[in-house]
Amino acid sequence: MHRAQLAMLTSFFALALMFPLVAPYVALASEILIFALLAMSYDLVLGYGGMLSFGHAAFFGIGAYTTGILLIRVFPSVPVALLGAVCVSSLAAAFVGYASIRRHGIYFTMVTLAFAQMFYFIAFKWTGLTGGDDGLQGVPRPNIGPIDLHPEINLYYFILALVIVSMFVIVRVVHSPMGTALQALRENRNRAMSVGYNVDKFKLVAFVISGCFAGLAGGLYALLLNMVPLGSLHWTTSGEVVVMNITGGMATLFGPVIGAVSIILLRDTISNYTDAWSLFMGLIFMIAVFGFRDGIAGFFQKKIIPRASEILRRAFPRKR
Amino acid sequence: MNLQFVLMQLFNGLILGSLYVLLALGLSIIFGMLGIINFAHGAFFMLGAYAAYTITAYVIPDFWLALVCVPVLMAIFGAFCEMVLFRRLYELPSLYIMLLTFGLMLVLQDAVRLLFGSMGVPFSTPKSLTGMVNLGFMYYPSYRLFLIVVTSLTACAVWLFLSKTKLGCIIRAGTDNPKMLEALGIDISKTMTLVVGLGAGLAGLAGVLAAPIQNVRPLMGMDLLVDCFVVVVIGGMGSLGGSVVGGLIVGQIIAIGVMVWPPMANTLIYFFMAAFLLVRPRGLFGREAFHE
């Protein structure tokens, strides 16, 4: 590992550890972490797999509802509930992925959005199980052994631990042979096929892994809010995840994290003044598409880092 | 459940199907030419309904005027969007135009919500069409029959336009191979403007027609748009016949769903779509290797 990468990782961990002290309130810091994980999981699908899915909220919402329902009705244990969320979301992702990866490009986008709407309508109408429009209220936060999750700060560090482990796994997936194959078939589908890769299988596996981590993020979200809002399944949530990826920078893994941090902070700030958040999100979408296609991460890689190194090089010329 | 009720529901399904047909036609034409999903299509539909409301409530209280003006206005608006926004992104992967239309949809929806409120606005059926018509076997609201007639005429007109006129021929050629069309010396950018304008005009027409029978509210378009995705997935993109047949099928599925198990009526079409994808991944009339 390069020294620069090591420095970046260390500063990231330091920032994450100190974040609750800096953020306006601790729950916001936790929310940012959760959405960072969600955005990063989506990067596998959009950035590395080249699949524009508009149904990522489905797996997030399913994870949240599964956690909530398990905690309320079945067994008050956080690990069991989160494990359940991961399993159910992965299953849902396998189902949606199997049906939609049969279609490419634009059709894929439409089919994923339509399936996400299906889950949304089921949650909306099945009020006995999900609470319908009001969301699933009263999700408890039982202790895990000696750890009391009720103080927000404890929950924050619990979420941080899980998010760091997940990010580590996602990074490993991207740099695994499967991850490189995935990028190869994103770049040139036909060539990857002629080399002998089973394109659809790789895409499906990436889709399921992504859905699995989206489910984990959803489960943590249910714990954080003590409820599951119906909006977690809505297509606007999928849209937010897409915009986090675009503004942060696709296929960089840390880009979506930056995107999530900026979008959630911006949403929190703007909603103090006006309720027209989706107007602003639409504008951010359009600005990102027109002027900011490489995202914040790309901006740093292309503009800031070369310029900084140039300045450094001039300031400290190499001795001959 | 008597026969009267069943027939009534099937007719209601036909109404819903007609709206799907108008929207899916525009969606499909734009898709064929630009290779993108126009996420703003539902917002165009919603804008059409609100434009009709604005004209009838504030300018001249005449539904017929709105019926003529709004599609034209929406076509101009669509062409404007194409010239100002879409055109700058043709060189890039189509992903970016789709994201742009998604942002445009959010902006339009929220702007309308801020202007008119999220609860929606009242819109009454035009006076000359308020009664019921005796069809022999049942009475049916005359406005709804009118809607079916207008939609069928429009669908026929679009079909005639695309299959019999020179301009329609250019659009069909552009759908098959835009590069070849350009090589033959046809200004493709004008055709693109025309296509987006035509699609937006059709969406606007659907909006005016839907205004008296649906709630005129900011999110009316998005709900219908996702259903339209189901329509084009079932019918097959880039095929007019597919849009028409798919629209009618989905309308009937919802109508039957309302009769059988109302809470699941909207969910039923997604299950149908999933089953359909497994059997016929390209849809009913989808062509092989078309924008795939």
Tokens of residue A86, six digits: 């991961």
Q: Confidence class of residue A320 from pLDDT cuts 50, 70 and 90?
A: very low
B98 contacts on A by Cβ (under 8 Å): 52, 106, 109
Q: CB A3: neighbour CB atoms within 10 A? A: 7
Among B88, B267, B281, the residue with its CB nearest the CB of A290 is B88
The letter for the amino acid at A140 is: P
A110 contacts on B by Cβ (under 8 Å): 37, 229, 232-233
Residue A163, pLDDT score: 92
Q: Closest residue of A to B90, CA-based?
A: A290
Average pLDDT over residues B159-176: 88
Residue A208, pLDDT score: 97
Q: Please tell me the pTM assigned to this model.
A: 0.88
Q: Confidence class of residue B171 from pLDDT cuts 50, 70 and 90?
A: confident
Q: Is there a domain that residue A119 lies in?
A: yes
**Mean pLDDT score of chain A, rounded to an integer?**
88
Q: Are B5 and B12 in contact (CB under 8 A)?
A: no
For position A284, which CATH number holds?
A: 1.10.3470
pLDDT at A319 over 70: no
Q: How many folded domains does chain A comprise?
A: 1
Report the alpha-carbon distance of residue B242 to residue B80 in Å, rounded: 28
Give pLDDT tens digits for A82-93: 999 999 999 999
A residues 42-101 near B, CB within 8 Å?
52, 99-100
Residue B290, pLDDT score: 59
Residue B267, pLDDT score: 84
Residue A318, pLDDT score: 58
From B71, B256, B282, B146, select the one nearest A107 (Cα to Cα). Answer: B282
Q: Which domain holds residue A234?
A: 25-315
pLDDT at A147 over 60: yes
Give pLDDT tens digits for A98-116: 988 887 777 888 889 889 9
Among B105, B267, B277, the residue with its CB nearest the CB of A122 is B267
Interface contact A104-B292, CB threshold 8 A: yes
Residue A1, pLDDT score: 52
Tokens of residue A112, six digits: 């994923």
Q: Confidence class of residue B128 from pLDDT cuts 50, 70 and 90?
A: confident
Q: Is there a domain that residue A165 lies in?
A: yes
Give pLDDT tens digits for A152-206: 999 999 999 999 999 989 999 999 999 889 888 888 888 888 888 888 899 999 9
Residue A22, pLDDT score: 80
Give pLDDT tens digits for B212-241: 888 899 888 888 888 898 898 888 877 788
Give pLDDT tens digits for A229-275: 999 999 889 988 998 988 888 888 888 998 999 999 999 999 888 88
Q: Is there a domain that residue A200 lies in?
A: yes
pLDDT at A218 over 70: yes
- Measure B100 CA to nearest chain A CA, in Å: 5
A285 contacts on B by Cβ (under 8 Å): 99-100, 102-103, 106
pLDDT at B4 over 60: yes
- Measure A188 CA to nearest chain B CA, in Å: 13
Q: Is there a domain that residue A220 lies in?
A: yes
Give pLDDT tens digits for A12-49: 888 888 888 887 888 999 999 999 999 999 999 998 98
Residue A98, pLDDT score: 92
Interface contact B103-A289, CB threshold 8 A: yes
A64 Cβ contact list (under 8 Å, min separation 6): A85, A218, A219, A221, A222, A228, A232
Helix (H, G, I), strand (E, B) or coil at B121: strand
pLDDT at B247 over 80: yes
Residue B71, pLDDT score: 95
Q: Is there a domain that residue A180 lies in?
A: yes
Q: Could you tell me what percent of chain B has a pLDDT over 70? A: 98
Average pLDDT over residues B257-261: 86
Q: Is there a domain that residue A236 lies in?
A: yes
pLDDT at A312 over 70: no
The letter for the amino acid at A55 is: G
B122 Cβ contact list (under 8 Å, min separation 6): B216
Q: Confidence class of residue B1 from pLDDT cuts 50, 70 and 90?
A: low
Among B98, B108, B266, the residue with its CB nearest the CB of A121 is B266
From B13, B34, B20, B15, select the one nearest B232 (Cα to Cα). Answer: B20
pLDDT at B156 over 90: yes
Q: Is there a domain that residue A11 lies in?
A: no
B95 contacts on A by Cβ (under 8 Å): 52
Residue A61, pLDDT score: 97
Q: Is there a domain that residue A298 lies in?
A: yes
Residue A284 contacts B where some CB pair is shorter than 8 Å: yes
In chain A, count of helices (H) and strands (E)?
15, 0
Q: Residue B121 forms beta bridges with which residues?
A: B216
pLDDT at B135 over 90: no
